[in-house]
Amino acid sequence: MTTKKATIKDVAREAKVSIASVSRVLNGLGGVTADTQEAVRQAAARLHYVPDSAARSLITGRTHTIGAVLPDLYGEFFSELIRGIDLAARARGLHLLVSSSHDGVEDAAAAVRAMRGRVDGLIVLSQFVDQAFLEKNLPADLPAVLLDSPVDNPRYPAINIDNDAGAQAMVGHLLDVGHASVAFITGPSGNFDAQQREKGYRAAMAAHAPHMPLNIIAGDFTEESGYRAGRELLAQRPRPQAVFAANDMMAVGCLYAFKEAGLDVPGDIALAGFDDILIARYVTPALSTVRVSITDLGKSALLLLTGLMEGKAHTSPATRTLGCDVVVRDSCGAHQTDVATINPSRAG
């Protein structure tokens, strides 16, 4: 019973062949007779041999690992994203190195640099990442794809959620159902998603209700800020007939403000959010929202990345867009439950 770990040499000795042949067999390179194959396989099994990945990486220059740099793992969004990435990575035999929980530019930079040499490619989602950041911290030879980023550069392909179209569709829906005045609760000012959703709100209002004044309240994506925004809206005279929050958590906060005031949703005031987080289905009334398939986002990112890694560098456009679906539940006052696909330009 050997307690040391077996190396390729041990297998070679055990199988009475050279290390080259062992390597050939185990990597399926061919040029080996069936007999030696068998001998090597058995020897390897007998010794419980597992190739040392460090040595392999050193010589091949590949790690079979991809890295994911994320701002924080908190909440459903990131867990779903990682899950999507991991699922797709596993299917292609790749490992996943995650690095999250950094809340400053320096933190993010360190995370990206630490990936150097450990991964074959990188998926980056961070509001701190812009063109300059990448040029400074990203090794030139490391393929990377950006998520949810305003950077538009062929060297760094990006996948974005179609926030604009999603928001437009939802606002359009609210207006269609008969709510004349629609208020909007924004996300944090620096957030790219939040900006685009606001843009969509403005565009939809301009298109469908050009005569109505815009009604925009500041929020920061937290439930708490949604609650505050809700109270603010309640104080308005006349009260808006519908409220569209830039994300679901704020919509939920808003809902609690309305409930607290004794209002009936959607009877007295309609409400809608964005993201379709799990909770949306479970609050009362169930929240109408805009769904984005986060798992798909992760999957698309990985696929795009592996494409890059395999050398098809500039065949694809710099930026892709992932469509959203309006999910009509009870909170918006349209009585059927239905899913309408808004933007069919799904990436992948």
Partner DNA sequence: AGTTTTGATGAAAACGTTTACGTTCCGCCG
Partner DNA sequence: CGGCGGAACGTAAACGTTTTCATCAAAACT
Query: Across-strand partners of 244?
Result: 184, 272
The one of DNA, its own copies, none whose footprint includes residue 114, by CB under 5 to 8 A per kind, is its own copies
Nearer to its own copies, 58 or 340 (CB): 58
For DNA (CB under 7 A), the number of binding residues is: 30
Of the residues 29, 45, 55, 340, which one makes contact with its own copies according to CB under 8 A: 55
| C-beta atoms surrounding 204 within 10 Å | 24
Q: Which of 3, 33, 315, 336 binds its own copies (CB under 8 A)?
A: 3
One-letter-per-residue 3-state SS of the chain: CCCCCCCHHHHHHHHCCCHHHHHHHHCCCCCCCHHHHHHHHHHHHHHCCCCCHHHHHHHHCCCCEEEEECCCCCCHHHHHHHHHHHHHHHHCCCEEEEECCCCCHHHHHHHHHHCCCCCCEEEECCCCCCHHHHHHHCCCCCCEEEECCCCCECCECEEEECHHHHHHHHHHHHHHCCCCCEEEECCCCCCHHHHHHHHHHHHHHHHHCCCCCCCEECCCCCHHHHHHHHHHHHHCCCCCCEEEECCHHHHHHHHHHHHHCCCCCCCCCEEECCECCHHHHCCCCCCEEEECCHHHHHHHHHHHHHHHHCCCCCCCCCEEEECCEEEECCCCCCCCCEEEECCCCCCC
User: CA–CA separation, 10 vs 241, rounded Å?
Assistant: 76
> What, of its own copies, DNA, none, does residue 23 touch, CB below 5 to 8 Å by kind?
DNA
Please give the torsion angle defined by the CA atoms of residues 120, 125, 128 and 133, in that order, rounded to the nearest 10 degrees: 20
Among 38, 52, 106, 176, binds its own copies (CB under 8 A): 52
- Contacted by 97, from DNA, its own copies, none: CB < 5 to 8 Å by type: its own copies
Ranges within 177-206 binding DNA (CB under 7 A):
none
73 binds, among DNA, its own copies, none (CB under 5 to 8 A by kind): its own copies
Q: Indicate the residue among 96 and 334 with the shorter CB distance to its own copies.
A: 96
Q: Identify which of residues 252 and 269 has a Cβ nearer to its own copies in the complex.
A: 252
Q: Which of 170, 283, 302, 324 binds its own copies (CB under 8 A)?
A: 283
Site string for DNA, 28-67 (x = CB under 7 A): -xxxxx-xx------------xxxx--xx-xxx-------
**Least distance CB 31 / DNA (angstroms):** 4
- In contact, 63 and 118? CB cutoff 8 Å: yes
Nearer to DNA, 35 or 310 (CB): 35
Near DNA by CB under 7 A, which window of 21-29, 221-229, 240-248, 313-321? 21-29
Residue 286 binding target from its own copies, DNA, none, CB below 5 to 8 Å by type: none
Answer yes or no whether residue 279 interacts with its own copies by CB under 8 A.
yes
What's the min distance (Å) between Cβ of 299 and DNA? 28
Binding to DNA by CB under 7 A, coded x per residue (else -) over 1-20, reads ----x-xxx------xxxxx
In the set 39, 44, 82, 123, which binds its own copies (CB under 8 A)?
82
Q: Where does this chain bind DNA (CB under 7 A)? A: 5, 7-9, 16-21, 23-24, 26-27, 29-33, 35-36, 49-52, 55-56, 58-60
